[in-house]
Amino acid sequence: MPTTVHKIITEILANEPGMSFTREARDVLIECCVEFLTLISSEANEIAERETKKTIATEHIEKALRELGFPEYVEEVVSVAEDHKEQLKTREKKTSKMDQSGLTQEELLQQQQELFRSATDKYNQGPAEQ
């Protein structure tokens, strides 16, 4: 996580006009971010456990932010979560090797059986002579 925060600082914030960070300031900012995320995560986990849920959901983070006195972040967090959901829906589906092969299931099965036969024949021949 500190690596991600460091990347945000160096690639996004530091590129803002007039913004630069000393190493000490960057380290303090990273520690603050880690502490903040730990605080929110712990609270969200407690909320999830009270609701007998095993997984922290966006709703738990939203409640944690409110309970910890950060209601001003809720709208942005919910918006980012919704955007992320939409991106997952529209993301290209990975195609399997079977789909990429262009062969029918029957042709693939025939190739598999031939490979098994070949491997069995090699195994039954024993060790290769040198």
pLDDT band, very low/low/confident/very high, at 11 (cuts 50, 70, 90): confident
Structure tokens at 74: 């809720």
Distance, CA of 86 to chain centre: 15
In this prediction, residue 21 carries a pLDDT of 78
pTM for the full predicted model: 0.60
Average pLDDT, the chain: 86
CA–CA dist 104, 112 (Å, integer): 12
pLDDT band, very low/low/confident/very high, at 130 (cuts 50, 70, 90): low
The DSSP 8-state label assigned to residue 17 in this structure reads T
- Given a cut of 70, whether residue 79 has pLDDT beyond it is yes
In this predicted model, what pLDDT tens digit does every residue of 48-61 receive, in sequence order?
999 999 999 999 99
Radius of gyration, alpha carbons of the chain: 27
The DSSP 8-state label assigned to residue 73 in this structure reads G
In this prediction, residue 14 carries a pLDDT of 67
CA–CA dist 83, 81 (Å, integer): 5
In this prediction, residue 35 carries a pLDDT of 93
